[in-house]
Amino acid sequence: MKKSLAVVCLSALATHAHADPAKVADDTVLGTVDVDGGGTAAALQKVALVPFAEKSLAEALAQPIVRRDLELSGLFDLAEAPVGPFQRDSPIDPKPWRAKGIDVLARVTVDELPASLKLRVDVWLLATGKAEPAYTRTVEVKTARARLGAHRIADAVLDAVTGRPGGFASQLAFTARVGKGQQVFLADADGVDLRGHGPAGDVALCPAFGPADEVFYAASVDFGPFGLVRGPLAVKVPLPVAGSVLGLAFDAPRARLALAVMSDGASQIWVGDAAGKKFESKTKAAFANHPVFGPLGRMAWVAGSPPRVFVDGKAVSPAGFAANAPVFCDSPRGVLVVFTVGVGKDTDLVATDTAGGGLLRLTQGQGANTYPACSPDGRLVAFFSTRTADKGTGLYSMPLSAPARAQRLTPRRASRCAGRRSRPSERHYRSSTCGGISDRQCGQRTICRGRGGRMTAIRPHFGHLRPCSIIK
C-alpha cells in the first residue's frame, strides 16, 4: 500500500503530525477509553461449543472458525466444555453445563454432500433449563466455500443470543505495497484468506464494493492520473468528471457513487449513479475529500484546514483536531459516525452521533489508529494500528461496546483499507477511507516524487491499513 510516488494529502493540510506543539488541542475533551462500554455493556455471557469424540475434516475446519468469530464479537467469554466429548447426535442435559456457569451452548455439525457442505448449528440458552435447542440454523455452501459457511454459522449464533445477526460473512478490501506498486487485497472478516485482487504493478487506492459485489478502485498506471477502474483486470470506468480520482464510495443499495476528484490543484466531491453518469457537485468546501454514505440518505466527508468531518454539511468532529476517515456504523446503540482525530503524534479513533453529540473515545495512547471500517451488524470496527502493546502493529477488530477488547486480525501492514462487503445473500462491511500513496497519516501534506516526475493526489484518508468500505 504505498509507493515511492507521492501524494499531497489535501485532506489535512494542517494535520496534527506537523502541527505546532503549542497549538495542539487539549485531548481531555475527547474523554478516556471505556473499558466496558461506559457501564452500558452487558456482562460477557459464557459460551461453549459441544466437543465431539470424532470430527469430520469439514467440522475440524468449521468449529475453530466459529469459535474465533465469537471471540472477536466481544460479547462472549469462550469456555471449555465441562463434560464430553459427545457424539454428533448425543442428547444434551443442560444441568452440568449450567452448573459451570455456562449460559449458551452451541453444537456445530457439518454434513458433506457430493458438491456442497451443509452446516448446522443448534443453540441452547441454558437458563431456560430445556433439553431442546432454542434455535437451529442450517446453511448450505459449495465445498470450496467452507469458510463462508462457518462465518454464517457464527452470525447465526449471534442472532440466536442477541436477536441481531452477526457480520462475519463479509470481506475486507484494502491496498498494500507490492514491489514498487500498490495492489488491492481481499480478506475474510477474521483477517484470514488474504489474496491479491487486480494488477500488482499499478498504484491502487480506495477499493469499494460496487454493483454485483464487484471491487471498484482508483488506479494510476506509470505515474499517471488516478482513474476509476473495476475488477481484477482493472477495467476502466468512463467518467464525465475530469481530474484524478482519489476517493470513492457507494451507498448501501449500490445505486449511487460518490467520488473525490482533484483537478487544477483543488478537490471536490461529486455524486452520481453507480454507472458513472449524471454527476453533480456535492460540496465545494476547501479540500473536500473522503466521501462516505450512511443510513437514511446521509453523507459524510472531510473538508477544511485543519480538516473536520461533516455530515450533510454540518461539522461533527470536535473543533481544533485534525479529523479524517469517517464511517457510519448502524450499531445496536444507534447510528454512529466513527472517525480519526490527531492527538499529538498519535491518531485516535472516536465516535459521535450524526449530529456530533455523545462523543466516545475508542483508542488512547496507542500510536496511530487509522481508517476505521464498520461491520455489517454495526458491532465491530476494523482499523489499522501502530501500537506496540497487545500484539503490536497490524489490522485490529474492536467491539464498539467494549473498545478495550480489540484484537489483532493480522500483523500485515497496509496503506489503505477499503472496507467490507458481504458475500452473496449476506450483508457487507463498508468503511470509508481512501487516499494517497504515503504510508503515513492522511491528515498531512505530503509530496512524493517518482520516476515520472512529481505527482500530486489527494488522499482522503488512510494511513497504514484501512478498512474502507462496507455494504449492507
What does the pLDDT profile of the chain (472 residues) look like in tens digits? 332 232 323 333 333 333 444 455 678 888 888 655 444 455 789 999 999 988 899 999 999 999 999 999 999 999 999 888 899 889 999 999 999 999 999 999 999 999 999 999 999 999 999 999 999 999 999 999 999 999 999 999 999 999 999 999 999 998 888 888 899 999 999 999 999 999 988 999 999 999 999 999 999 998 899 999 999 999 999 999 999 998 999 999 999 999 999 988 888 999 999 988 889 998 878 889 999 999 988 999 999 989 999 999 999 999 999 999 999 999 988 999 999 999 999 999 999 999 999 999 999 999 999 999 999 999 999 999 999 877 888 899 999 989 989 999 988 665 544 455 444 333 333 333 333 222 222 222 222 223 233 222 222 222 223 333 332 2
Do 409 and 447 fall within a single domain?
yes
Q: Map residue 10 onto helix, strand or coil.
A: helix
Of the three residues 100, 129, 162, the one that is the final residue of a domain is 162
Compute the distance between CA of residue 143 and CA of residue 150 in angstroms, rounded to an integer.
Answer: 12
**Cα–chain-centroid distance for residue 185?**
13
Residues 322 and 303 in one domain: yes
Q: Does residue 89 share a domain with residue 20?
A: no
Q: Is 67 helix (H, G, I), strand (E, B) or coil?
A: helix
Do residues 172 and 153 share a domain? Answer: no
Rounded CA-CA distance 20/105 in Å is: 55
Is the domain of 129 the same as that of 198?
no
**Final residue of a domain: which of 162, 178, 195?**
162
Entry pTM: 0.82
Say if residue 237 is in the same domain as residue 218: yes
Q: Indicate which CATH number applies to the domain containing 430.
A: 2.120.10.30
Range of the domain at 26: 10-38+168-455
Residue 83 lies in a domain: yes
Same domain, 290 and 146: no
Looking at the structure, do residues 444 and 329 belong to the same domain, yes or no?
yes
Does residue 442 share a domain with residue 388? yes
β-bridge mates for residue 76, sequence order: 45
CATH code of the domain covering residue 88: 3.40.50.10070
Q: Is residue 372 part of a domain?
A: yes
Q: Is residue 466 part of a domain?
A: no
Q: How far apart are CA 344 and CA 346, in angstroms?
A: 5
- Say yes or no: 151 and 185 in one domain: no
Domain tally, the chain: 2
What's phi and psi for 307, nearest 5 deg? -65, 140
Residue 462 domain-assigned (yes or no):
no
With beta carbons less than 8 A apart as the criterion, state whether 66 and 49 touch. Answer: yes
Residue the block writes with cell 494510476: 220
Please indicate, yes or no, whether residues 113 and 86 belong to a single structural domain of this protein.
Answer: yes
Distance (Å, whole) CA 109 – CA 60: 10
249 and 300 in a common domain: yes
Whether 470 maps to a domain, the answer reads: no
Asked whether residue 33 is assigned to any structural domain, the reply reads: yes
